[in-house]
């Protein structure tokens, strides 16, 4: 059996394992190890099992991941998320669907220091969902808004997904963050427009929010200051080369902690924040281990090279190839997290 066929079978098996609710990281790791052993030798798979954890966990660039997560956790426990939602709700007060727009806007702004779609969605749901239900939002509509807002965490910098992608593909982290800003903002605007259209098309989905004065709108902008301050420090520092992504994450985490401490966080809150950070970081690093193993398997099977050669030989425009890639992401997004 040729290595390419083994690689194709491995991918099919991995997809079946995911469908059977096997954790994605475990599915990738298992298929990667077994497939690598089948293409090379069982001893090679055992050697890879010893090398990969060291290669991933000892890589300095990946140390930014838990620091970015810690920054978002501090922001959650400091009450910044609650003040952020109140600020955006006041700014859009009186507009039909204002709470939905505030949920989208809050998710986008919170994503700017969280870096995680999951953390953004879970945090803003705790803050915004009770208020949306209070004002008569249909549960499905409200949850859909917050779930869509959570996806902004993968694009709006500093994004953990973009950080990992930049490291794995040896691209500039600063350039990757800047590249994610425009589509992230565009997504936030389009989600908000969609909410406005939906509440006008189907008025029963949501009630009109409370009207707010211009003075209240201006005063509410103070709730955005902590996020803007941290965001500017991180992005400007990384982009202009003042510090590395890891140093930027450390600075952001320290500023978030300082704000949380000023708002009353003490030893118990710090301990809880560290526990949450460790739990989320473990999930991310387990995914990295699985992806690394699967990558080695796909590489030695030469499946990626064969697919690239086949696609390169097709007589189609680059736009068709791009549409196919987007369609693949669309399908994968139905079953897998960001």
Q: In sequence order, what DSSP letters do the residues of 278-294 get, joined into one string?
A: HHHHHHHHHHHHHHHHH
> Is residue 276 in some structural domain?
no
Q: Is 302 helix (H, G, I), strand (E, B) or coil?
A: coil
Same domain, 54 and 88: no
Contact between 76 and 90 under an 8 Å Cβ cutoff? The reply is: no
E strands, 99-238, where? none
> Is residue 76 in some structural domain?
yes
Same domain, 9 and 146: no
Share of the chain above pLDDT 70, in %: 99
Query: Looking at residue 191, what is its pLDDT?
Result: 92
How far apart (Å, rounded) are the C-alpha atoms in residues 62 and 168?
10
Contact between 52 and 289 under an 8 Å Cβ cutoff? The reply is: yes
Same domain, 211 and 254: yes
Q: Is 127 helix (H, G, I), strand (E, B) or coil?
A: helix
> Is residue 313 in some structural domain?
yes
> Is residue 275 in some structural domain?
no
Same domain, 227 and 103: yes
> Is residue 81 in some structural domain?
yes
> Is residue 274 in some structural domain?
no
Contact between 36 and 48 under an 8 Å Cβ cutoff? The reply is: yes
Residue with tokens 């690239």: 308
> Is residue 279 in some structural domain?
no
- Which of 211, 236, 265 is the last residue in one of the domains? 265
Same domain, 203 and 258: yes
Same domain, 74 and 144: yes
The contacts of residue 22 (CB under 8 Å, 6+ apart) are: 30
> What tokens were used for 204?
């029963």
How far apart (Å, rounded) are the C-alpha atoms in residues 232 and 275?
27
Query: Looking at residue 78, what is its pLDDT?
Result: 81
Surface-to-core class of residue 319, CB atoms within 10 Å of its CB (0-12 exposed, 13-18 middle, 19+ buried): exposed
Same domain, 172 and 92: yes
Query: Looking at residue 39, what is its pLDDT?
Result: 87
The count of residues in the chain is: 338
The contacts of residue 300 (CB under 8 Å, 6+ apart) are: 3, 36, 39, 40
Same domain, 151 and 259: yes
Same domain, 121 and 243: yes
Same domain, 212 and 92: yes
The contacts of residue 91 (CB under 8 Å, 6+ apart) are: 102, 105, 212, 217, 220, 221
Q: What is the mean pLDDT of each run of 10 residues along the chain (338 residues)?
A: 85 88 89 89 85 83 84 82 83 82 87 76 83 84 88 82 82 83 90 90 79 81 82 82 84 88 85 89 86 87 81 81 85 70
To 10 degrees, what angle do helices 80-91 and 64-77 make? 70
Contact between 144 and 112 under an 8 Å Cβ cutoff? The reply is: no
Surface-to-core class of residue 49, CB atoms within 10 Å of its CB (0-12 exposed, 13-18 middle, 19+ buried): middle
> Is residue 247 in some structural domain?
yes
If you write DSSP's letter for every residue of 29-70 in order, what string do you get? HHHHHHHHHHHS-HHHHHHHHHHHHHHHHT-GGGGHHHHHHH
Same domain, 323 and 233: no
Same domain, 234 and 88: yes
Domain span at residue 68 reads 63-265
- Which of 206, 230, 265 is the last residue in one of the domains? 265
Split into its structural domains, the chain has a count of 2
């Amino acid at each position: 059996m040729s290595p390419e066929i083994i690689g194709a079978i491995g991918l099919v098996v991995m997809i079946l394992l995911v469908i059977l609710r096997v954790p994605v990281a475990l599915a990738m790791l298992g298929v990667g190890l077994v497939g690598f052993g089948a293409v090379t030798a069982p001893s090679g798979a055992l050697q890879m099992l010893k090398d990969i954890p060291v290669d991933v966990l000892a890589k300095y660039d990946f140390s930014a991941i838990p620091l970015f997560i810690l920054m978002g956790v501090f922001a959650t426990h400091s009450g910044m998320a609650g003040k952020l939602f109140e600020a955006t709700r006041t700014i859009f007060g009186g507009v039909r669907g204002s709470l939905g727009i505030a949920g989208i806007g809050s998710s986008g702004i919170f994503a700017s220091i969280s870096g995680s779609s999951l953390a953004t969605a879970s945090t803003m749901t705790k803050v915004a969902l009770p208020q949306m239900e209070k004002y008569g939002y249909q549960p499905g509509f409200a949850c859909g808004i917050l779930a869509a807002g959570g996806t902004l965490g993968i694009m709006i910098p500093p994004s953990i997904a973009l950080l990992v992608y930049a490291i794995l593909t040896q691209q500039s982290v600063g350039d990757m963050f800047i590249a994610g800003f425009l589509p992230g903002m565009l997504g936030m605007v389009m989600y908000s427009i969609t909410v406005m259209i939906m509440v006008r098309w189907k008025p029963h989905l949501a009630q009109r929010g409370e009207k707010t004065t211009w003075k209240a709108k201006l005063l509410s902008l103070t709730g955005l200051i902590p996020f803007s301050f941290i965001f500017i420090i991180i992005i400007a520092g990384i982009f202009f080369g003042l510090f590395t992504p890891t140093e930027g994450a450390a600075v952001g985490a320290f500023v978030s902690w300082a704000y949380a401490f000023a708002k009353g966080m003490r030893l118990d809150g710090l301990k809880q924040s560290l526990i949450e950070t460790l739990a989320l970081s473990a999930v991310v690093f387990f995914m990295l281990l699985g992806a690394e193993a699967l990558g080695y398997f796909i590489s030695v099977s030469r499946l990626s090279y064969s697919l690239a050669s086949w696609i390169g030989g097709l007589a189609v425009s680059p736009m068709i190839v791009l549409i196919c890639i987007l369609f693949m992401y669309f399908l994968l997004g139905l079953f897998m997290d960001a």
